[in-house]
């Protein structure tokens, strides 16, 4: 499912920020969230250099975005809407037409408070809620992984944050069946 190009991008970045900047596990290994490496990790997500101050703002944003994905995984749509409404209010998301990098005019969302990514992610998640698509947000089902994902598959079948988690789960299930058969 594609929401629209802007929403796809900002919701994907919201998930990437959560996965990169919040503590937890990925594939049974701890996710390192030390402040010193934040700018580099943020630069990887955003595809541009990020300073320490902006990285700290993005880490605060990621901490607020994580509960949205957790509530969506639990099917708590009302809670998702409450959390997204709080983000919209706090980041004071405002639309603005923008044109850059040889692209045609398109919509961006700016913020008078905090990082513009907060405004964009909040607006993108609001579009997901408005589209009745909160089931497309989730938390990885692999053992030892709590990273989040956005399901853009045609049949809404995604359950893992990455191919490696999917493959690890399939191999574990295969081995369990093989042990049970012997």
Distance CA 165, CA 142 (A): 6
For CA atoms 35, 37, 43, 46, give the dihedral sign.
negative
Torsion of CA 153, 156, 157, 160, to 10 degrees: 70
* Cβ atoms of 55 and 39 closer than 8 Å: yes
Class of 5-181 in CATH: mainly alpha
**H or E, element range at 164:** helix 163-181
pLDDT in tens, 53-63: 999 999 999 99
pLDDT in tens, 94-137: 888 888 888 888 777 777 776 789 999 999 999 999 999 999 99
């Amino acid at each position: 499912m594609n929401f629209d190009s802007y929403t796809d991008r900002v919701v994907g970045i919201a998930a990437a920020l959560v996965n990169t900047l919040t503590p937890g596990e990925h594939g049974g290994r701890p996710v390192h969230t030390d402040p010193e490496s934040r700018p580099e990790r943020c630069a990887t997500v955003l595809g541009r250099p990020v300073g320490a101050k902006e990285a700290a703002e993005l880490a605060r944003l990621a901490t607020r975005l994580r509960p949205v994905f957790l509530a969506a995984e639990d099917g708590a749509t009302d809670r998702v809407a409450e959390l997204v409404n709080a983000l919209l209010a706090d980041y004071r998301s405002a639309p603005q037409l923008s044109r850059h990098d040889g692209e045609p005019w398109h919509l961006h969302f700016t913020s008078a408070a905090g990082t513009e990514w907060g405004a964009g992610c909040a607006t993108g998640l609001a579009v997901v809620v408005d589209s009745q698509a909160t089931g497309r947000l989730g938390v990885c089902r692999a053992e030892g992984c709590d990273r989040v994902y956005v399901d853009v598959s045609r049949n809404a079948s995604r359950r893992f944050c990455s191919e490696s988690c999917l493959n690890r789960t399939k191999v574990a299930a295969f081995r369990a069946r093989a042990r049970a058969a012997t």
